[in-house]
Copies of this chain bind each other. A is one copy, B any other.
């Protein structure tokens, strides 16, 4: 089945849209990604984190996303938040959302 060969390899699942927010919610970027590992690399790059360690949580409630399996269960357009060591997730309301100047 020659045709199949030109398909993207089955392991590389379809790239999916997601959004990534900074901890203070002042920056939010749209990113296409097909794995947690891929997302981490792109986040490091696009948010210019250099080698500062960080972890990814769900922006809605701070759930830590640390396994590929769990990442794959998430729907498109999931909003992630980048947290560095010592930073804690806060609900939008408490934080004085970025919409207030």
Point out residues on A near B: beta carbons under 8 Å: 15-17, 19, 26-32, 46, 57-58, 61-67, 69-70, 73-74, 76, 88, 90-91, 94, 98-100
Contacts and interface: CB of A to CB of B under 8 A. Distances in A.
A94 B88 contact: no
A66 B19 CA distance: 12
Contact of A32 (B61, B69, B76): B69
A29 B66 contact: yes
A62 B28 contact: yes
Nearest to A61: B28
- A-B complex: 4 closest residue pairs judged by Cβ atoms: A17-B73, A30-B70, A32-B69, A29-B64
A29 to B, nearest CB: 5
Given A15-B73, A28-B62, 11 more contacts: A16-B73, A28-B63, A28-B64, A29-B66, A30-B58, A30-B65, A30-B67, A30-B73, A32-B67, A88-B98, A94-B99
